């Protein structure tokens, strides 16, 4: 069990961010153990043929299917909307002695194997090799579907930021994950090792991650305290079409607008909605304009993108029983 002790300043310093590099590293675990990450099987099936000719052996040596992954591969994101190039620059700046020390922790208790032994023997070279390989892997495996993943992550950040503003820490952590419990100013994360971590005014960084599903992951000092968790709506990530709307709703607002309201159970962008519905972004924008004018959806800008989400009135139409 890991325990994060919150002081008064720590609640005010809860921050959200997501990380392309974090997704990248966790996606390697999906490929290593597809059965343990069945939700992402559609992605894994689509990606495997594209990986032919790319030697992932060094990455597989550092990122096992389960257990410790070197922390230098997943530095806590410094920006709410980081880019991969900036994150890889942080990886490349890791001191070689830190790389060597963290490599010794991978698969501890097991024989290290020749691949990991060679990587640990030349940590400076390993940094360059791994960073270059991650960049090539990104282009093949994640770049084609990044917009879809980004929509999901941005939507979760938006929802939980609102929950923090209206309900405080309890509103954020109440439904974060079954392994996470908030009680009396203390956050407990169910893990196979014990640690008490007083945040001491540093706050906690919350990082939604599609590929960390179905688990959570933590980072503790000397790194910035961080908790990564699966975002709401992750089960719909690889769907090719949204669930059919109720007939009564379709009769009231029209079939396409009913589909949009149903799809907005989690926040999404215009292009994300267009992809899921199989229509043009222009058509989605027109329908969103009508729904927004009638108080059923709202939009909020995150960086250069606008995320749309149902209002309470929209929720009541989609699910009157709520």
| Averaged confidence pLDDT in the chain | 86
Q: What is the pLDDT of residues 212-237, one digit of tens each?
A: 999 999 888 777 889 999 998 888 88
| Mean pLDDT of the 154-179 span | 85
CA distances from 45 to 26, 30, 51, 309 (A): 16, 11, 11, 31
Q: What is the pLDDT of residues 133-146, one digit of tens each?
A: 999 999 999 999 99
Predicted confidence (pLDDT) at residue 322 exceeds the cutoff of 60: no
CA 208, CA 16: separation in Å to the nearest integer? 8
Q: What is the pLDDT of residues 294-319, one digit of tens each?
A: 889 888 777 677 888 888 888 888 87
Beta-strand relationship, 15-16 and 205-208: parallel
| Mean pLDDT of the 160-173 span | 84
| Mean pLDDT of the 262-276 span | 82
Q: Which CATH architecture has domain 239-318?
A: Orthogonal Bundle (1.10)
**Per-position DSSP letters for 35-82, written without gaps between them:** GGGGGGHHHHHHHGGGGTT---HHHHHHS-SSS---GGGSPPPSSSS-
DSSP letter at 230 equals P
Least confident of 106-115, 161-170, 203-212: 106-115
Domain boundaries, the chain: 2-16+148-234, 20-145, 239-318
Predicted confidence (pLDDT) at residue 157 exceeds the cutoff of 90: no
CA 65, CA 171: separation in Å to the nearest integer? 32
pLDDT for 116 equals 75
% of the chain exceeding 90 in pLDDT: 32
pLDDT for 109 equals 53
Q: What is the pLDDT of residues 69-114, one digit of tens each?
A: 888 998 888 777 778 999 999 999 999 999 988 888 776 656 556 7
* pTM confidence score: 0.76
Q: What is the pLDDT of residues 31-49, one digit of tens each?
A: 999 888 999 999 999 999 9
Closest listed residue to residue 201, CA positions, set 2, 3, 6: 6
pLDDT for 219 equals 85
**Per-position DSSP letters for 262-319, written without gaps between them:** HHTTS-B-HHHHHHHHTS-HHHHHHHHHHHHHTTSEEEEEETTEEEEEE-HHHHHHH-
């Amino acid at each position: 069990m890991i325990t994060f002790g919150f002081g008064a300043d720590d609640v005010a310093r809860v921050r959200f961010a997501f990380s392309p590099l974090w997704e990248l590293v966790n996606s390697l675990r999906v490929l290593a153990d597809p059965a343990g990450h069945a939700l992402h099987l559609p992605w894994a099936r689509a990606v495997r043929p594209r990986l032919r000719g790319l030697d992932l052996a060094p990455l597989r040596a550092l990122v096992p299917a389960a257990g410790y992954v070197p922390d230098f591969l997943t530095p806590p994101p410094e920006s709410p909307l980081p880019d991969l190039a900036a994150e890889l620059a942080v990886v490349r700046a890791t001191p070689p002695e830190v790389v060597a020390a963290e490599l010794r922790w991978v698969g501890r208790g097991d024989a290290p194997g020749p691949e990991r032994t060679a990587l640990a023997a030349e940590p400076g070279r390993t940094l360059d090799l791994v960073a270059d390989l991650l960049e090539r892997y990104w282009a093949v495996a994640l770049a084609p579907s990044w917009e879809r993943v980004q929509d999901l992550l941005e939507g979760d950040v938006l929802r939980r930021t609102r929950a923090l503003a209206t309900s405080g820490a309890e509103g954020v952590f109440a439904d974060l994950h079954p392994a996470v419990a908030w009680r009396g100013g203390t956050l407990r994360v169910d893990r196979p090792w014990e640690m008490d971590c007083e945040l001491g005014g540093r706050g906690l960084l919350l990082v939604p991650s599609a590929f960390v599903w179905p688990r959570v992951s933590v980072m503790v000092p000397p790194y910035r305290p961080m908790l990564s968790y699966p975002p709401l709506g992750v089960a719909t990530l690889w769907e090719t079409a949204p669930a059919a709307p109720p007939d009564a709703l379709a009769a009231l607002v029209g079939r396409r607008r009913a589909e949009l309201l149903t799809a907005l159970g989690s926040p999404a962008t215009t292009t994300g909605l267009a992809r899921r519905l199989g229509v043009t972004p222009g058509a989605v924008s027109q329908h969103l304009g009508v729904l927004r004018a009638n108080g059923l959806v709202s939009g909020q800008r995150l960086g250069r993108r606008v995320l749309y989400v149902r209002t309470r009135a929209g929720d009541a139409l989609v699910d009157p029983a709520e």
